[in-house]
Every structure is written in C-alpha cells, then in structure tokens.
C-alpha cells in the first residue's frame, strides 16, 4: 500500500499517519519528494486494511500496490534517484562511465588502467577481486590482495571503485576497500545476500540475472531497499536467448521499461552482453540513446593478455574513441558527462 500525502501536508500530519500505521504493526518507508511525501507500507497489509487512512488530515490518496515491489517503484518515488559517490554521480542528467578490467591482476595493471580511463572521461573504476567463474579451474580473482590494488588505484586517481561481493562473508572486507558493492548476475536472486547489502551504507550495483525478467530484477532490488539501503543501481547486462552471435543478448528495451517502472538509475554492461569488443561502443551509444544512466565497460591495457574476458575488453585507444563518441551524443539526448579532467 502507498499513501500519498497532499502537497503542503504538515510534518505533524505525516507523523500522525506514520504513527497510526506503525501502531498497527507494519513498517513504513518514507519518500520525501519535491512536492509531496509518499509513505510505503511494508509488511502484512491485512493489519492496516481497515484503517480509515483516507480520512486522516493531509492524506490525498491511498493506493494498493499490485506489483511485488513498492519501494523501488515510480509510484513510491516520482523523482529519479541520483546517487553520489565521492564526487561521481549516477542518475539523470549524468551519464556515468564505469570502466576497468574484468579482473584485478596486478597493481600496475590497475593503476595504469585507472589513470587512462580517468583522463579519457570515466567516472568510476571497476575490477573484480572475487570472480564468479563458470569453471572452477579458471582464474578466481586475487581476493583481498586485489581489493588493495583497487584501493591504491582509486587513491591515485580519485575514481570511486565498483567491485563484486559474491557472498555475505565478503561484505565486510569488500566494504573496507570499495565504494560500490556489485551483486553479479549469478547472485541476483541470492536473497540472503540482497538482505545483507540492504543493511549497508554503501551503494549497490545490482546486475540482472541472465535468465531473469525485469520484474524479478525489480523485486530483487526491493529486497535491498527493504533493508533500508535505497542507493541501488540496476544493470542490464544481457540475457540468454537462442542467438549465438553474441555472448548474451542485450535487452535494450529493458532500459526504457525499467525507467518507467522504477526511480532507480539503470546502467548497461555492453561487455558481458556482447562478449565482443567490437560491439561495445555501438551498444554503449544505443544505451545512451534509449535513456540509460551509464555504462559499465571492461577495459584492459593488453586485452590479449587478460586473465578473464579479454575478447570483450576494450584496449585504451578503443576506449578513448568510444568516449569521444559518447561525448558527442550525450548532449543530443540531454545528458552530461561528469568528471572530465
């Protein structure tokens, strides 16, 4: 249930409704918009079904929510969420560019990459230290050592760091070093992990599972929001289809659909979607054109030597060329690129 307060409702009126609801035994989440406050009721709605809320002063309307998510919905919060991470922004009108290697390999690789992507216009640094690999014989990531290299590269360039946390036990150590906690596609429905990152202060980048629907992605985000963490970035990274020309199929329509349904920022990962470096720039431009709030792309100083995902990684000249194209298209679609230094 969502309770929309009138424009100009007083704090006392809002508090009175919250008190009434909490006394009845439900949890209330508040969204303070530019014009009005919206209250989201979470819990057993039966407990409040009989309350004459519409008659309370300051209440405009009471709406049932038939979708399985509420706090991440546009009904609950009309204005788009904008997340600021140490000076880098994700959310309109900014188009965020998160760049870096698939995996952290060495300190030199991270510093070299961070310096390059930053001067080319990237606003965040990515790199996996804990890697979810299909084969147990593939490189599994450097773990905490990798996190240290990421942090060094971040200190060197000022770029905030996005890195994956694969399980609850890693949250503490990853939070020590990283600015944004990434939940990978394979963990999108690891509900216990979602609940735990929902209790954290750090923003969460939630990737869509490759066999999950848009509604399942939003419902997964709701698990995080329900814990109190509303700094969530959604990521379309390609889904499984019958098509074999690309590693996955980028679901480009997911972006405008999610933007309609949710106030959360949505970014695109063209690297994992395509699995081919030559498609990363065109898909990034497509993402920008359909309203995505950014891209996360794999960049490696020497893709041929990468320990993971070399074929889909951009080398430095190709990343720079893509940034030039993004910079040209961005103003045409009302977007700005931040942190160009």
Binding positions for Mn ion, rule: CB under 5 A = 102, 309
Q: Sketch the per residue contact string, 169 through 198, with ligand PEP: x for CB under 6 A, - otherwise.
A: ---------------xxx------------
Tell me if 70 contacts ligand PEP by CB under 6 A: no
Q: What is the CA radius of gyration of the chain?
A: 21
* Binder of residue 237, out of Mn ion, ligand PEP, none (CB less than 5 to 8 A by kind): ligand PEP
The length of the chain in residues reads 341
In the block, which residue shows the tokens 């848009």?
Answer: 214
Q: Which of 272, 280, 293, 326 binds ligand PEP (CB under 6 A)?
A: 272
By C-beta, is 58 or 184 nearer to ligand PEP?
184
By C-beta, is 263 or 272 nearer to ligand PEP?
272
- Strands across the sheet with 37-42, in order? 27-32, 37-42, 2-5, 59-63
By C-beta, is 184 or 203 nearer to ligand PEP?
184
Tell me if 128 contacts ligand PEP by CB under 6 A: yes
Say how far apart CA 235 and CA 224 lie, in whole Å. 15
Minimum gap (Å) between residue 207 Cβ and ligand PEP: 4
Q: Sketch the per residue contact string, 137 through 176, with ligand PEP: x for CB under 6 A, - otherwise.
A: ---------------------------x------------
Tally the C-alpha atoms within 13 A of residue 17's C-alpha that lie toward its C-beta. Answer: 29
38 backbone dihedrals φ, ψ, rounded to 5°: -120, 135
Neighbours of 119 (CB within 10 A): 14
- Is there a contact between 201 and 172 (Cβ–Cβ < 8 Å)? no
* Binder of residue 152, out of ligand PEP, Mn ion, none (CB less than 5 to 8 A by kind): none
Using Cβ positions, the residue closest to ligand PEP within the complex turns out to be 184
Three-state secondary structure call for residue 324: helix
59 backbone dihedrals φ, ψ, rounded to 5°: -85, 130
Neighbours of 57 (CB within 10 A): 12
Tell me if 207 contacts ligand PEP by CB under 6 A: yes
Q: Which of 70, 118, 226, 237 binds ligand PEP (CB under 6 A)?
A: 237
Q: Which residues bind ligand PEP (CB under 6 A)?
A: 102, 128, 132, 164, 184-186, 207, 237, 269, 272
């Amino acid at each position: 249930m969502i309770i929309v307060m009138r424009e100009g409702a007083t704090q006392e009126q809002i508090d009175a409704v919250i008190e009434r609801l909490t006394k009845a035994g439900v949890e209330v989440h508040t969204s303070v918009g530019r014009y009005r406050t919206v209250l989201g009721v979470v819990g057993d709605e039966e407990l409040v079904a009989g309350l004459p809320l519409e008659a309370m002063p300051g209440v405009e309307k009471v709406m049932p929510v038939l979708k399985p998510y509420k706090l991440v919905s546009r009904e609950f919060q009309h204005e788009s969420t904008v997340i600021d991470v140490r000076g880098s922004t994700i959310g309109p009108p900014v188009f965020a560019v998160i760049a870096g290697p698939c995996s952290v390999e060495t300190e030199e690789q991270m510093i070299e990459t961070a310096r390059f992507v930053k001067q080319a216009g990237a606003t965040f640094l990515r790199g996996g230290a804990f890697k979810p690999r299909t084969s147990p014989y593939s490189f599994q990531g450097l773990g905490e050592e990798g996190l240290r290299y990421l942090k060094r590269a971040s200190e060197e360039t000022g770029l905030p760091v996005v890195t994956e946390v694969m399980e609850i036990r890693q949250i503490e150590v990853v939070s020590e070093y990283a600015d944004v906690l990434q939940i990978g596609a394979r963990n999108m429905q690891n509900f216990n992990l979602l609940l735990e990152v929902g209790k954290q202060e750090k923003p969460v980048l939630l990737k869509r599972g490759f066999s999950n629907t848009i509604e399942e992605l939003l419902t997964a985000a709701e698990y995080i929001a329900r814990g109190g963490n509303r700094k969530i970035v959604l990521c379309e990274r390609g889904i499984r289809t019958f098509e074999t020309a690309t590693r996955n199929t980028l679901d480009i329509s997911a972006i405008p659909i999610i933007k309609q349904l949710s106030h959360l920022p949505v970014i695109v990962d063209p690297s994992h979607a395509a699995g081919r470096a030559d498609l990363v720039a065109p898909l990034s431009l497509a993402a920008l054109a359909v309203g995505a709030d950014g891209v996360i792309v794999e960049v490696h100083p020497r893709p041929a030597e990468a320990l993971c995902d070399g074929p889909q990684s951009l080398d430095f000249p190709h990343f720079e060329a893509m940034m030039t194209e993004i910079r040209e298209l961005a103003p045409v679609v009302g977007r700005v690129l931040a942190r160009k230094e």
